[in-house]
Amino acid sequence: MRASVQKRALYLLLCTFIAYGVLVASHEGEFWPFSIYPMFSQAGNEWSRAVVRSVDESGTTTDWASIHQHELPGEPLALTDYGLRHDLANFIARTETWDDDRVAGLERMFREPLRDHRLLVYRVRGGLVDGDSVAVWFEPYAFLSADTTVLNPDLR
């Protein structure tokens, strides 16, 4: 009896393993909860993240030049205070065309903080320079207020 149980258990395990393999192979390594776990697999590449600053009335929407961290205007907006996670960075990095739906998606993400803040979203890029140090750039990406959204024309 136990031998047949073991045989069936192995068969079920094999079937799940095959389904796992087929699904991750046909979906670029990800079909939740199956995964090839590729995090940090592409070492050395430049990365792109995002930070948000709360700016006052003088916050400009016309100066889109890249800056360093110590030059960031306003105050940091901690995303966790609004229940937001890492989605913003991926939202920006993976968006190629900013159509109306995508802009609306960005506005919706910040619906709550926009009640009290004017926001500057920065795309932050980093990478190795000269082989032994890491450089980080802050590129203004979008300005959002309760009634206005302006995207950096150079990045759109």
Contacts to other proteins by CB under 8 A: 2, 5-6, 8-10, 12-13, 16-17, 20, 27, 29-45, 47, 49-52, 75-80, 83-91, 93-95, 101-102, 104-105, 108-109, 111, 124, 126-128, 131-134, 136
- Which CB sits closer to other proteins, 61 or 89? 89
Spatial separation of the C-alpha atoms in residues 53 and 147, rounded to whole Å = 17
- Which CB sits closer to other proteins, 76 or 154? 76
Alpha helices in 27-136 (DSSP H): 87-94, 100-109
- The continuous run of DSSP H or E covering 3 comes out as helix 2-26
Spatial separation of the C-alpha atoms in residues 85 and 109, rounded to whole Å = 10
CB of 147 to other proteins, least distance (A): 18
- Which CB sits closer to other proteins, 44 or 62? 44
Q: What are phi and psi of 59, to 5 degrees?
A: -60, 130
CB of 64 to other proteins, least distance (A): 19
